[in-house]
Amino acid sequence: MEAKPPVSYADFAKLDLRVAKVIAAREHPNADKLLLLTIRVGDVEKQIVAGVRAHYPAESLVGRSIVVVNNLEPAVIRGEESNGMLLAASDSAGVTLLTPDRECEAGAGIK
């Protein structure tokens, strides 16, 4: 694994990491590796595009709590708007979503 350059605490503090609840999930109509997730962060619902289709069936994500970068600049990915990014780890065994180790409310801050 290649190490990345250090970042300042001030740069890290710009990230708004939150717990989100997946309220709907479906396959991206124009990409075999992507899912479209509707998530709730606090009182806000938004869509994110996630490259986890090969690792998770869409229906298995509904109701799960995940960790997201809530303030990532919006992007259009294969014709669909994404308003955040889920966090996942990958290793030789595959991809796993980062999740809280107990149930907590959607929108809870991560620090």
Domains and CATH numbers, the chain: 21-97 (2.40.50.140)
pLDDT in tens, 66-89: 999 999 999 999 999 999 999 999
Average pLDDT over residues 38-59: 97
The structure tokens listed for 70 are 């809530």
C-alpha distances in angstroms, 93 versus 57, 78, 89? 17, 28, 10
Residue 1 pLDDT greater than 80, yes or no: no
Task: Note the pTM of the prediction, 2 decimals.
Answer: 0.93
pLDDT recorded at residue 65: 98
Lowest mean pLDDT among 1-5, 44-48, 81-85, 101-105: 1-5
